[in-house]
Amino acid sequence: MDDLMTPRPNAHLLFSAVPALVRYLQTQATVYAPHRFGDTSYRFDQVLSPDAVVLDYNRTLQSIKKYFLPPRETLLSFSLTEATFEPVSAESSFRIFLGVHSYDLQALLRLDYNFTHGHPESNYLKRRENCAFVGVSFEPDEVHFSRSVGITVEEMEGFDLFLDRQDDGYAVFFLTDRGKALLEGFTEITKARNQSPVHREFRTKIKYNYNRLSEVFDQAWDSPVWEEVAERCVGCGTCNLVCPTCYCFTVDDEVNLTLTEGIRKRTWDGCMLSQFAQVAGGENFRYERSARQRHRVYRKFKYLSDPTGRPWCVGCGRCTAYCTARISIVDIVNQLCEDYEQRILHKNALV
């Protein structure tokens, strides 16, 4: 990070003051934050007890996407006898999301793009109104790789406040007027020590800069990698369901037993599931798991990245950490990079 551009903290918050901070935020809005879930996992939940909030965590099972695009929701109810329908509109109230990692906020910014381009999605956009985001730094583990897709631990875009973990507490960065207002009157912060955010290194990396991945994917359609990965993949769809930038859903109608009324509901779907690309008549455009793997990875590094200039993978590592077959998306991309190098070498040898 360019030192001239490096933001400076505005205050310092001791670890012991975190519950007080949570309580203070709760006086202003409903607060959502990471909590322990079982022995080794974490998940975002509405805060009921400030002492249960955990700001030092590796990743949550699901990102905050679930609050904006719920796994299941009713879109409308209808009457078949009267030929009418009533949309179910999403509600918007002020909510604070505390302890969000940079890659998950970046994922939300990508979903904003998805749901505002083309036909804007009103329920998603309604839920996005009126939210404040308080980021927190994290220690990259063996599956985080967000630096490789242009997202540092200390990336603050989209946050109102950012807490950077230091030796005895957090350096607090005020990033927006809303962020300043959230802490106005909160007395348990002290004067800032004038340090920059701690720069954290990533152990897991993609071989090429993400700007070059488009050309790698131009050559990757026929790669043997897809078959190799498909031999291990069981097609469970977990990688889709935990991904913070996956936004595919299916829509079903449920009609009551008297066939007079019903509801239309939306449920998360995933391109790794066998029936995802099945159409009327039984044809399935991506029946083979290799074709589904290729589609999933192209969605992250090519199809949306070419028009936007940003990878649609934010390097959270969830699809690797929770994959039933321990398939690593970084290994897939690095193998494609190596195949690309071999092709270039081969081509040059022929010249």
For binding to ligand SF4 (CB under 6 A), which residues are involved? 233-239, 242-245, 272, 300, 313-319, 323-325, 327, 329
Number of helices (H), then strands (E), in the chain: 11, 12
Closest by alpha carbon to 170, among 21, 41, 32?
21
Minimum Å gap between C-beta 47 and ligand SF4 is: 25
106 vs 327: CA distance, rounded Å: 23
The answer to whether the beta carbons of residues 272 and 240 sit under 8 Å apart is yes
Closer to ligand SF4 at the Cβ: 12 or 292? 292
Minimum Å gap between C-beta 320 and ligand SF4 is: 6
Minimum Å gap between C-beta 250 and ligand SF4 is: 17
Closer to ligand SF4 at the Cβ: 171 or 316? 316
337 vs 339: CA distance, rounded Å: 5
> Residue 29 contacts by C-beta under 8 Å, 6 or more apart in sequence?
93, 94, 95, 96, 132
Minimum Å gap between C-beta 57 and ligand SF4 is: 16
Closer to ligand SF4 at the Cβ: 136 or 149? 149
H-run or E-run covering 217? helix 213-218
The answer to whether the beta carbons of residues 197 and 164 sit under 8 Å apart is yes
Closer to ligand SF4 at the Cβ: 94 or 303? 303
Closer to ligand SF4 at the Cβ: 41 or 238? 238
Minimum Å gap between C-beta 317 and ligand SF4 is: 5
129 vs 89: CA distance, rounded Å: 14
Closer to ligand SF4 at the Cβ: 101 or 128? 101
Task: Please provide the size of the chain in residues.
Answer: 351
Minimum Å gap between C-beta 202 and ligand SF4 is: 12
Q: For 257, phi and psi rounded to 5 degrees?
A: -65, -25
